[in-house]
Amino acid sequence: MSAKTHTKQKTLVVVESPAKAKTIEKYLGASYMVRASMGHLIDLPKSRLAIDTEHDFAPEYITVRGRTKILNELRAEAKRADMVLLASDNDREGEAIAWHLQNAIAAKHAGIPIKRIVFNEITPQAIKTAVARPTGIDEAKVNAQKARRVLDRLVGYNLSPLLWKKMKNGLSAGRVQSVALRLICEREQEVESFIPEEYWTLDAECVSGTASFTAQLALWEKEKPELKHEAAVDAVIEKLRGVPGVVSDIRETEKNIKPKPPFTTSQLQQTAANRFGFTSKKTMQIAQQLYEGVNTGSSRVGLITYMRTDSVRISQLALNEVREWIGKQYPAALPAAPVEYAVGAKAQDAHEAIRPTYTTYTPDDLKDSLSRDQLKLYAIIWERFVASQMTNARTKTVSIDIQAGDAVFRVSGTKIIEKGFFKILKVLASKDERGSSYPPLSIGDAVDLREFFKEQHWTQGPSRFTDASIVKTLEEKGIGRPSTYAPIISVLLERYYVTRSTKQLVPTPLGRLINGVLVEYFPNVVDVAFTAAMESKLDTVEENRIQWSDMIREFWTPFKEQVEDVGKTLETYKGSLDEITDYICEKCGKPMKKKLGKFGYFLACSGFPECRNAKSIPLATCPKCGGDIIARKAKRRGKEFYGCANYPACDFLTPFKPLDQNCPVCGCFLVEKNDKEHGFHTACANPACDYRHNEDNE
C-alpha cells in the first residue's frame, strides 16, 4: 500500500456545531473525522446589497468575515479524506450551508466525492443509517433559502437607508419582523383604548346537614345576573336575607379528555413560556443542547429529535418503542392501536415532532446529568410524547343548583373516573388532573344561606403579547417558520423597537413611530396576508413548483417603484423623539437632551457637536452613597442589571429595574419582582428593608 493511499482512509463528516460533532464522532469510530462549520461560512456581504437585480437577482456570495480559517481547515481535511459527508441541519439553512461547502471544497479539490446526509435525531442508529444512505444536495431547498435570503436583503437594504435618511441613523426594517412589530403595535392600541367596565359577583356560604360549601349566584330572576354596581348586588342580598334554599337540580356530565400531540416548535416555545417563563430564544438554546448531545454518565447522546419542526408525525420505530414502554409501565393505559394525529395543513412535515430519542430515558433517570433548565424542558418533551400514545382520561363533572327565591346559586366539582394519560404527567400536570370536590347533596335537600360575599371586578381588555402568544399568532397567521419565531422576537428587542415588561412585549416610541411609517407608506410589506402569501410561495419554491427568481421579480418591480416614490415624499422625523430635560450638562452647563440610541434612551448635551457629553439616564438614587442608579450590562452575557454610577467606589447593584416610586418604609427606590410565592409585586430595593406590596396587602 502506498503512502498516498494510506493517508486517505477517512471520511470527513461536516456538521454545524462542535457539540454535535463531539456526539457524532463517538458513534462513528476511528475511520471518520467529524468537524464543525460553525454555521454559515459563505453568505452575502454585510456592506452592500450584493444582489444583481438586472440579471435574475443573482446573489454575490463571499466568505463570511472571520470564517476563512475554518473554511481552509475544512478544505484541508477534505483533501486528506476518501469522501466528504455534509451533515448540516435538515432544513433550508442547513441545505444552503451544505451547498456552499460542496462548492467551496469542489472548487479547490475536484474529484473528491461529496455527499449529503440528513437525520432527525443524534443517536447511533440514526447516524449510522444516514451515513449508509448518502444523497445529493436538494437544489429546490437551496433555492428556497436563496429566495428568502434575497427577498429579505432587498427589503432590508432598501427600507433601512430610507429610515436613516428620514428618521434616525442606524435603524433597520425587516420583512417578517416588521409584520410582527405591526401586530404588537396594534395590540398595544387595543390595550390603550380599552375602557374597563365594573361588575360584581355574589357568593353565598351554604350549609346543608354536615356539608358546608360556597356557591356562586348563577341566575337572578331566571336570567344571568348583571350586577353593574354595588347598589345592584346589595339589592339582591337584601331580597335574599332569610330566604331558605333547596337543591333544585343536579347535573352530571362525563367527558373524555384526549392527550395532546407531541410538540412542534411553536407549541414547545409556548408551553415553556407559560410553564417556566422561558423566552423563545432560551427555549431554543436549551433544545439545541438536548438535541446535539449531553453526557449521561458513560455515554454521550442526543436526547431529543430535531427541534425546528411544524409536524406532529412520529416514526414507526419511535411508536413501537413508546408503546412497548407504556405496555410495561402502565399496561391499562395502552390503547389497542397507536394514536394518530393529523398534520396541520400549513406544516411542511420535513421532520418528526419533537420527542425524546429514547423513551426509556425518563426525566428521573437524567436528573443528575442535566442542568435545572435542561431537565425542565426535557421533562415536558418526554411527558407530552409519552402521554400522546396513552389512553384518554375520563372525568365526571357534577353541577348543583340551589334555588333560593328568585336566585339560583351554583356549585360544581369534577372527579377523575379514569386517569389514562394523566398518570404520566408531573411537570405538565394541571388542575384538570387534580379534580375538585363538590358537596354530597341530593335534590330536595334544604340549604341554609348563612352569609353573602360580594366582590367587585372589572372587565379585562386584550392582553399584550408575550413570547408565547406572539409565536402562536405568527403560526396561526402563517408568518415565519419554526426556525424564525425566536429570532423575530430577539431582533425586535435588540433594535429597541419592543421591550419586555413583566414578560409582556411592549412597543417603544421608536417602534411605534417606525410601524406608523411602514403601515402608511409600505402597507404591502407589513400586511399580514401578503407576508403569509410570500411564505407560501417560498414553500412552493422548495417543492420545485416555481422558479425562485420569478417569485422575487414579481415582488421587486412594484416594491422598487414604491421605495423611490416614498423617498421623494416622506417628511423627515429626525429628532422627533428627542426631549429637553431638567438635567444640566456638568461640562458646559447647557440642558441635557433625552435621546434614543441603539440600546434605548440616554442623556446627551444639547450643545452637541461642540459638547459631546453623554451619559445614562438616572433611574433612582443609590441607597448606599446617594449617587445615580443607572442601567448597566454584564460584559460576558450582556444581561442588563442596575447599579450605582459611582462604581467601583460604590458597589451597589440590583437585577431588578427601579420603579418611579420610593419605599414608604425606608425611602429607598422600589423595584418590580416576580416569584412563585408572591407572583408579580413591588418591593424595596434596600436589602435591609422587607417592604413588599401587591394587591393582597392593599
- What pLDDT digit, counting tens, does each position of 490-516 carry? 999 988 899 988 889 999 988 999 999
**331 prior amide bond cis, ω within 30:** no
The answer, yes or no, to whether residue 695 has pLDDT greater than 50, is no
Q: Which residues pair with 684 in a beta bridge?
A: 670
Instruction: Provide the pLDDT for residue 459.
Output: 92
N residues, the chain? 698
With a pLDDT cut of 70, the percent of the chain lying above it is 95
Give 435 or 90, the one with higher predicted confidence.
90
**Residue environment code for 200-235, b if the CB has 16+ CB neighbours within 10 A, otherwise e:** bebbbebbbeeeebebebbebeeeebebeeeebbee
Least confident range of 30-34, 295-299, 381-385, 398-402: 295-299
With beta carbons less than 8 A apart as the criterion, state whether 532 and 473 touch.
Answer: no
What is the domain class of 265-388 according to CATH?
A: mainly alpha
Q: Quick one: 198-258+393-458 is in which CATH superfamily?
A: Topoisomerase I, domain 3 (2.70.20.10)
For the segment(s) 3-137, the CATH number from 3.50.50.60, 3.30.70.20, 3.40.50.140, 3.40.50.700 is: 3.40.50.140
* 291 among known catalytic residues: no
304 DSSP assignment: B
Which CATH number is associated with domain 145-194+463-569?
A: 1.10.460.10
With beta carbons less than 8 A apart as the criterion, state whether 181 and 511 touch.
Answer: yes
The domain ranges of the chain are: 3-137, 145-194+463-569, 198-258+393-458, 265-388, 578-609, 618-697
| pLDDT band with cut points at 50, 70 and 90 for residue 696 | very low
Alpha helices in 527-587 (DSSP H): 528-542, 548-569
Return d(Cα 198, Cα 457) in angstroms, integer. 6
| pLDDT band with cut points at 50, 70 and 90 for residue 533 | very high
Phi, psi of 293 (to 5 degrees): 135, 135
With beta carbons less than 8 A apart as the criterion, state whether 70 and 99 touch.
Answer: no
With a pLDDT cut of 90, the percent of the chain lying above it is 69
Instruction: Provide the pLDDT for residue 6.
Output: 43
Q: Name the grid cell of 501.
A: 415588561
| pLDDT band with cut points at 50, 70 and 90 for residue 194 | very high
The answer, yes or no, to whether residue 7 has pLDDT greater than 70, is no
Q: Name the grid cell of 419.
A: 386517569
The answer, yes or no, to whether residue 652 has pLDDT greater than 80, is yes
pTM for this model (two decimals) = 0.83
> What integer is the mean pLDDT of 89-100?
94
Return d(Cα 416, Cα 420) in angstroms, integer. 10
Q: Name the grid cell of 215.
A: 356557591
Place of cell 430595593: 685
Q: Which residues pair with 673 in a beta bridge?
A: 681
Instruction: Provide the pLDDT for residue 333.
Output: 96
| pLDDT band with cut points at 50, 70 and 90 for residue 693 | low
Q: Name the grid cell of 398.
A: 357534577
Mean per-residue pLDDT over the chain, rounded: 90
Write down the catalytic residue from 32, 61, 291, 306: 306
The answer, yes or no, to whether residue 238 has pLDDT greater than 60, is yes
Return d(Cα 689, Cα 206) in angstroms, integer. 43
Q: Which residues pair with 114 in a beta bridge?
A: 84
| pLDDT band with cut points at 50, 70 and 90 for residue 5 | very low
Assign 190 to helix, strand or coil: helix
Q: Name the grid cell of 301.
A: 447522546
The answer, yes or no, to whether residue 635 has pLDDT greater than 90, is no
Q: What would the pLDDT profile of 50-87 be if each residue is shown by its tens digit?
A: 999 999 999 999 999 999 999 999 999 999 999 999 99
Compute the Cα dihedral for 529, 531, 536, 537 and give only its sign.
positive
| pLDDT band with cut points at 50, 70 and 90 for residue 576 | confident
